[in-house]
Amino acid sequence: MIPEIGQFALILALSLAIFQTVFPLVGAHRNNAAMMDVGRTAATGQFVFVAIAFVCLTYAFLTDDFSVLYVANHSQLALPTLYKVSAVWGAHEGSLLLWIFLLAAWTLAVARFSSGLPEAFAARVIGVLGFLSIGFLLFALLTSNPFARLVPAAVDGGDLNPLLQDPGLAIHPPLLYVGYVGFSVAFAFAIAAMISGDLDQRWAKWTRPWTTVAWLFLTLGIALGSWWAYYELGWGGWWFWDAVENASFMPWLIGTALIHSLAVTEKRGLFKSWTLLLAITAFSLSLLGTFLVRSGIIVSVHAFATDPTRGFFILTFLAVVVVGALVLYAWRAPSLDSDAGFGLLSRETFLLLNNVLLVVATALVLIGTLAPLVIEMASGGKISIGPPWFNIAFLVPTIPLVVLLGLGMHTAWRSQDKSAWLRTIRLPAITALVLGVVIPLLIYGRISILLFVGCAAAVWIVVLALILPIRSLFREKGTAGITRSALGMSVAHLGMGLFVIGVTVVSAFGVESDRALRPGETIEVAGYEFEMRELRNVQGPNFSAIEAEIEIRRDGDFVATLRPQKRQYLVQKNWMTEASIRAGLDKDLFVALGDQLGSNGGWSVRIQYKPLIRFIWLGALVMALGGLIAITDRRYRSKVRKTAAVDGAAAEATA
Amino acid sequence: MKPRQQRMLAVGLAALGIAIAAGLTLRAFQDNMMFFVEVSDVAAGEYPKERNFRIGGLVVGGSVQRQEGSIDVRFEVTDTACTIPVIYSGVLPDLFREGQGVVAHGRMGGDNVFQADKILAKHDEEYMAPEVADSLSKHQKDIVKATVAGAAECGSNDS
C-alpha cells in the first residue's frame, strides 16, 4: 500500500511539474499575473508530493518491506538503521529519487525567496525548473521506478553494498547532489534572463548567492567523497581521476569559473554572455556526469550496472537541454555585451584569466574522461588514460592559476595603480620564495622544482589571502571593516592555499608500501616501526571480522595502536577491508589488511605514511566556509540593508 | 603602447601559452594511453611491446599460488579461450576471487608472464568492466563454435 502511495505521489508530482512549467512561462509571456502565480503554488505542491514519495521509500526501507524490488536488492534485516536510511540513495533508482527531491527543494526555496525579483522573471525561473523536474520525473517513472514490486516478496534482502555501509558515504551523495542540482538554479536564471532578453547587473546579484550555495555543497560533497575513497576503498589515495570523480569535478571547475565571472558581471556589467554560457555549461556538465555514471558506458570503479535505456533517456534529455539552451544563447547573447573598458592591470583582467584557465582545466579533464569513448568509437581500440596524464595535464593550467589568484585579490576594479600594487605584493612574494625552499628542505629534507613551486604557491596564496582580514582587524576605529563578501573570498582562497600545500607535500613525501607481516614481527616504513601484536576474531552486527592489533613506534617511542579489520559481511559474503588510520594534522599513518599469506599466520598489509593529507580536506572545508561567509553579505538581503543603512546614518549622527 | 594594443598583446600571449600547453598535453596523452588487449591476443603475441597495457578476464579457479609468507602472488587469467599467467606483488583488492572478473595493468615479461603493477576487481556484484564482458562473450561464442567443430583450443579462433 505505502509503495503505491509513493508511486502515485510521483505521478501527481509530474502533473504538477507540468503546471509549474506551462503556466508561469505562458503567463510571463502574456504578462498575466494570475497564470504566473500558478508557478509558486505548483512548485510547493510538487515538493510536497515528491517528499511524500521520498518518505514512502524511506518507510519501506525502515520496515524491511522486501516486496519492493529496490528494497529487497539493497537492504537486509540486520542492516543498522542509519544504513537503512542511507540505502534509500544507495543505488540508481533511489539516488534518482533523491535528485528529484532536491530539485523540488531548490525550486521551493527559489519560489519562497524570490519575492524581491520582478514577477515575470521569477515566474520564468520557476517554469524552467519545472521543465527540468518533468525530465527527471519522467526518467524515474519510465525507466527507474523505485517502487516496483517483487512478487513473491523476498524473505530477506540482498543487503546494501558493504562499501556503502559507512557514515561518510551515507551523506556523500546528498551533499554532492545538492551541489549538482543547485546548478540547475543558475541555469534557470540564465534561461529566464535569455527568454526575457533583459540581463542587467541585478541579474548577477540575484544569481550569485544561489550559485555560491550550490558550489559550496559541491565542494563539500567532492571532499567527502575523496575522504571516503581514502579510508574506505583501502587504496589510500585521495583522488584517482576516475570517470565518476571527474564527472563531479568538471561542474565544480566550471562552477568556480562561474562564481568569478558573476563577480565581474555584478560589479562591472561585463562578461555577460560569457557568464550565461558558464551557467549553461555548469548544469550541462552535471547532466553529463549523471549520464556517464548512470549509463555505465565508461569504465569506472564507481559505475553502476549498465542499462542502455537509462543512458539513452539521459542522453536525450541532455541533448534537449543543451541544444535548447545554446540555441537560445545564440539568439540572445549577441545583444547583451557591454563595451565598458578596463585597464590591463585590473581585477577584470585577472578574473578573465581565472576563467580562461579554469575552462582549459575543465576541457583537459573532459578530454581525458571522454577520450577512451571517442577512440573506441573511432578505431575500436580500448584504451584508458592513466592518472599520470591527468596529474601532468592538470598542473599546466593550475600553476598559473594559483599564482594569478594571489595577485587578483589585491588588484582594483577598472584600473590599478602599479606602484601601490607592487608594494602590496612585494613582501608576500619574498616570503613565498623563501618558504618555498625552506619548507621542503628543512622539514622534509628534499627539494625539487615541483616541490618549490607547490610550496611557494601555497604560501603565496595563504599570505595574500590573510592581508585583507588582518588589515581589517587592525584598522583604525570608525573606519569601515572588511565586507562579508571580501572576507568570504579571502577565506575561500586561504582554503585553496591549504589545499595546495597538502597536495604538494603528500604527493612528494607520501609513502605506500605493501608488506608481509605476521604476529610478533616488526617492519619499518618511512621511519616508523610497525609491530603486529596479535590477530583476533571480532563480531559486528552484520559482519564477522579478523582484526589485527598493530603498534606503531618511532625510535622505540610509542606512537599509536591501530586495529585494521578484514570484514566478511554475512549476506553478500564479500570480504571488505576496513583500514585503520592514526589521523593527525601533520601526517596520517594508515594500515590496511590485505590477504592471509599461507599457513604461518602472516598477512599482506598495506602501510602508508601520508604527511599533510588532512590539509587537502581541510582546505576544501575552508573553501566551502568562505562561500558560506560570502553569501551572508548584506547586499543579498535587501530588506536588512535598508535598516542597516538607517542604523549607519544614526551612528554617524551620534558620532 | 595604447591600452588596446596592450590588451591585444596579452590575449595573443595567452593564446600562445594555451596552444603550447595543449600541444604538450596531447603529446603526453600518447605516452599515457593504455590499451586493453584481449588475453587471446596476448597469448598470440599481439600486444604492445615495452610498454604498459591492460588485460582482463576471469581468474582461473585453483590457479592462485602464493609463496609462503611473501606478498608475491601468481595466478592465471582466461578469456575462456586462452590463458596467461600473471604475477603481482602487493595487496589484492577485496573482490579478487577465483572464477571472478579481474583487470590487470602491467607489461609482458620476457618469460611470457604478465607482470602486473595494479589489479582491479569488480566493484559490486552486478558490475563487470565492459571490456572484460565483451571479451568474454566474444570468446564464449567462439568456444561454442569450436566445441561443435571439435577443436576448442587457444589460437583456433583467429578465423
What DSSP letter does each residue of A86-106 carry, written as one string? Answer: HGGGSSHHHHHHHHHHHHHHH
Contact with chain B for residue A349, Cβ under 8 A: yes
Q: Give which of A138, A116, A111, A139 is closest to A24, Cα–Cα.
A: A111
Residues B78, B22 within the same domain: no
Q: Which residue, among A616, A586, A578, has the nearest Cα to A167 in the 3D structure? A: A578
Torsion of CA B41, B43, B44, B47, to 10 degrees: 50
Q: Do A296 and B130 touch (CB under 8 A)?
A: yes
* DSSP assigned state of A149: B
Q: What is the CB neighbour count within 10 angstroms for residue A69? A: 19
> Residue A642: pLDDT above 50?
no
Mean pLDDT of A46-60: 97
Residue A400: what pLDDT? 92
Answer yes or no: is A188 within a domain. Answer: no
Rounded to a whole number, what is the distance in Å from the CA of A11 to chain B's nearest CA? 29
CATH number for the domain spanning B44: value is: 2.40.50.140
The pLDDT of A179-188, averaged and rounded, is 95
Do B109 and B129 reside in the same domain of the chain?
Answer: yes
d(CA A199, CA A119) in angstroms, rounded, equals: 15
- For the cut 80, the answer to whether the pLDDT of residue B76 exceeds it is yes
Q: What percent of chain A has pLDDT over 70?
A: 94
Rounding to the nearest 10 degrees, give the CA dihedral for residues A305, A308, A311, A313.
Answer: -130
- pLDDT surpassing 80 at residue A242: yes
Flag whether A546 is in a domain. yes
Residue B115 forms part of a structural domain: yes
Residue of chain A whose alpha carbon sits nearest to that of B121: A301
The predicted model gives A243-251 an average pLDDT of 90
Nearest CA in chain B to A606: B91
Q: What is the pLDDT of residues B108-142, one digit of tens each?
A: 988 889 999 988 876 544 556 667 777 877 777 66
Confidence of residue B152 (pLDDT cuts 50, 70, 90): very low
Task: Flag whether B156 is in a domain.
Answer: no
**Is residue A472 within 8 angstroms of chain B, CB to CB?**
no
DSSP annotation of A335 reads G
Q: Which percentage of chain B shows pLDDT scores above 70?
A: 77
Contacts of B14 in chain A (CB under 8 A): 353, 356
In chain A, pLDDT over 90 holds for what percent of residues?
A: 61
Q: For A601, name the nearest residue in chain B, comparing CA atoms only.
A: B69
One domain, residues A69 and A111 = yes
- Among B1, B7, B32, which would you mutate to test the A interface (most chain A Cβ atoms within 10 Å of its Cβ)? B32
- Same domain, yes or no, for A37 and A100? yes
Domain shared by B48 and B74, yes or no:
yes
Tell me the mean pLDDT in the region A211-239. Answer: 89
Same domain, B78 and B4: no
Judged by CB atoms closer than 8 Å, whether chains meet at A396 and B89 is answered as no
pLDDT category at B148 given cuts 50, 70, 90 is low
Tell whether A382 lies on the interface with B, counting CB pairs under 8 A.
Answer: yes
Residue A183: inside a domain, yes or no? no
Contacts of A375 in chain B (CB under 8 A): 33
Q: Tell me how far apart the alpha carbons of residues A125 and A114 are, in angstroms, rounded to a whole number.
A: 10
- DSSP, residue by residue, A490-549: HHHHHHHHHHHHHHHHHHHH-EEEEEEE-TT-EEEETTEEEEEEEEEEEE-SSEEEEEEE
Q: Which amino acid is at A249?
A: F
Pull the grid cell for residue A107: 525550486
Residues A234-255: what's their mean pLDDT?
Answer: 87
Query: Residue B94 and residue A575: Cβ atoms within 8 Å?
Result: yes
Tell whether A391 and A529 lie within a shared domain: no
Domain for residue A265, yes or no? yes
C-alpha cell at A147: 517502487
* A296·B126 Cβ contact <8 A: no
State the DSSP H helix or E strand holding residue A552, giving kind and residue range, or none if neither.
strand A543-554
B48 and B61: one domain? Answer: yes
| Residues A9 and A56 sit within 8 Å (Cβ to Cβ) | yes
Taking phi over 0 as left and psi of -120 to 50 as alpha, with beta for the rest, A502 belongs to: alpha
Among A12-16, A409-413, A631-635, where is mean pLDDT lowest? A631-635
| Same domain flag for B74 and B116 | yes
Q: Say if residue B71 is in the same domain as residue B50.
A: yes
Residue A384 touches chain B, beta carbons under 8 Å: yes
Question: Which of A271, A255, A280, A105 lies closest to A178 in space, CA to CA?
Answer: A105
pLDDT over 70 at A300, yes or no: no
Same domain, A231 and A358: yes
Report the mean per-residue pLDDT for chain B: 78
> Do residues B62 and B5 share a domain?
no
pLDDT at A344: 81
Q: What is the sign, positive or negative, of the torsion defined by CA atoms of A603, A609, A614, A619? A: negative
Q: Are residues A208 and A116 in the same domain?
A: no
Task: Return d(Cα A188, Cα A195) in angstroms, integer.
Answer: 10
Range of the domain at A577: 511-614
Whether residue A436 contacts residue A453, with contact meaning beta carbons closer than 8 Å, is answered with yes
Residue A164 has a pLDDT of 79
Is A514 within 8 Å of B71 when comparing Cβ atoms?
yes
- Identify whether A77 is part of a domain: yes
Chain B residues close to A303, C-beta within 8 Å:
123, 127
Q: How far is CA A205 from CA A190, A353, A386, A481, A488, in A?
A: 12, 22, 41, 22, 16
- Which tens digit of pLDDT belongs to each residue from A326-384? 999 998 887 776 667 788 889 999 999 999 999 989 998 998 888 888 887 787 778 88
Q: What is the per-residue pLDDT for A335?
A: 78
pLDDT tens track for A110-160: 999 888 889 999 999 999 999 999 999 999 999 889 999 998 888 888 888
Identify whether residues B54 and B86 lie together within a single domain.
yes
Task: State how many domains chain A has.
Answer: 3
The count of C-alpha atoms lying within 13 angstroms of the C-alpha of A540, restricted to the half-sphere facing its C-beta, is 20
In a domain, residue A431? The reply is no
**How far away is chain A from the Cα of B150, in angstroms, using its nearest Cα?**
31
Strands A522-525 and A511-517: unpaired
A282 pLDDT higher than 70: yes
Contacts of A185 (CB under 8 A, 6+ apart): A106, A110, A125, A129, A210, A211, A214
If you ran DSSP here, which 8-state letter would residue A567 be given?
A: E
All residues of chain B having their beta carbon less than 8 Å from the beta carbon of residue A389 are: 25, 28-29, 31-32
Residues A140 and A50 occupy one common structural domain: yes
A228 in the same domain as A367 = yes
Q: Which pLDDT score, from 0 to 100, does residue A215 have?
A: 97
User: Are the C-beta atoms of residues A551 and A565 closer than 8 Å to each other?
Assistant: no
Q: Which residues of B touch A (CB under 8 A)?
A: 3, 6-7, 10, 14, 17-18, 21, 24-25, 28-29, 31-36, 54, 66-71, 89-92, 94-95, 120, 123-127, 129-131
* Domain assignment present for B27: yes
The total of other beta-carbon atoms located within 10 Å of residue A645's CB is: 11
Which H/E stretch holds residue A196? Answer: helix A167-196
Please answer yes or no on whether A599 and B33 come within 8 Å at the CB atom. Answer: no
Q: Are A401 and A355 spatial neighbours (Cβ–Cβ below 8 Å)? A: no
Number of domains chain B is built from: 2
* Residue A305 touches chain B, beta carbons under 8 Å: yes
Computed over every residue of chain A, the mean pLDDT equals: 88
When pLDDT is averaged across residues A442-468 and rounded to a whole number, the result is 93
Question: Domain containing B109: what range?
Answer: 35-149
Q: What is the mean pLDDT of residues B83-102?
A: 88
Interchain pair A385, B32: CB under 8 A? yes
Mean pLDDT (whole number) for A177-197: 93
Say yes or no: A157 contacts chain B, CB-CB below 8 A.
no
Mean pLDDT of B131-158: 63
A64-119: pLDDT as tens digits: 999 999 999 889 898 899 999 999 998 888 989 999 999 999 999 999 988 888 99
Asked if residue A241 is part of any domain, the answer here is yes
The residue ranking higher by pLDDT, B114 or A312, is: B114
Q: What is the pLDDT of residue A628?
A: 96
> Quick check: B3 and A343 CB within 8 A?
yes
Identify whether residues A257 and A324 lie together within a single domain: yes
Summarised one tens digit per residue, pLDDT across range A198-212 is 788 888 999 999 999
Q: Is residue B157 part of a domain?
A: no
Residue A143 lies in a domain: yes
CA end-to-end span of chain B, whole Å? Answer: 70
Establish if B54 belongs to a structural domain: yes
A558: helix, strand or coil: strand
**Chain B nearest-CA residue for A372:** B33
Contacting A residues, span 512-541, partner chain B, CB-CB under 8 Å:
514-516, 518
A592 touches chain B (CB under 8 A): yes
Domain boundary among A409, A436, A471: A409
Q: Are B98 and B116 within one domain?
A: yes
Q: How confident is the model over A615-638, as a mean pLDDT? A: 91
pLDDT(A490) > 60: yes
Contact between B29 and A349 using a beta-carbon 8 Å cutoff: no
For A551-586, the pLDDT digits (tens) are: 999 998 999 999 999 998 887 777 888 899 999 999
Residue labelled with grid coordinates 544561489: A210
Domain boundary among A614, A631, A649: A614
Question: Do both A115 and A157 map to the same domain?
Answer: yes
**Chain B environment of A344 (Cβ under 8 Å):** 3, 6-7, 10
Cell of B27: 603529446
Same domain, A82 and A158: yes
A242 and A348 in one domain? yes
Is the distance from CB of A402 to CB of A503 less than 8 angstroms?
no
Residue pLDDT, tens place only, A533-542: 999 999 988 8
Contact A299 B131 (CB under 8 A): yes
Tell me whether residues A594 and B71 touch, CB distance under 8 A. yes
Beta-carbon contacts of B60 under 8 Å, excluding residues fewer than 6 positions away, are: B75, B76, B77, B78, B83, B98
Provide mean pLDDT across the span A520-530.
Answer: 93
- Residue A609's H or E segment, with its range, is strand A602-611
For residue A296, the chain B residues in CB contact (below 8 A) are: 127, 130
Say how far apart CA A299 and CA A383 lie, in whole Å: 10
Q: Which residue of B lies nearest to A162 if distances are taken between CA atoms?
A: B124
pLDDT at A644: 43
For residues B103 and B76, membership in a common domain is answered with yes
**pLDDT tens for each residue of A29-47:** 999 999 999 999 999 999 9
8 Å CB contact of B71 and A577: no
Q: Is the pLDDT at A27 greater than 70, yes or no?
A: yes
DSSP 3-state assignment of A111?
helix
Task: Give residue A308's pLDDT band: very low, low, confident or very high (50, 70, 90).
Answer: low
Q: Do B54 and B132 fall into the same domain? A: yes
Q: Do A306 and B70 touch (CB under 8 A)?
A: no
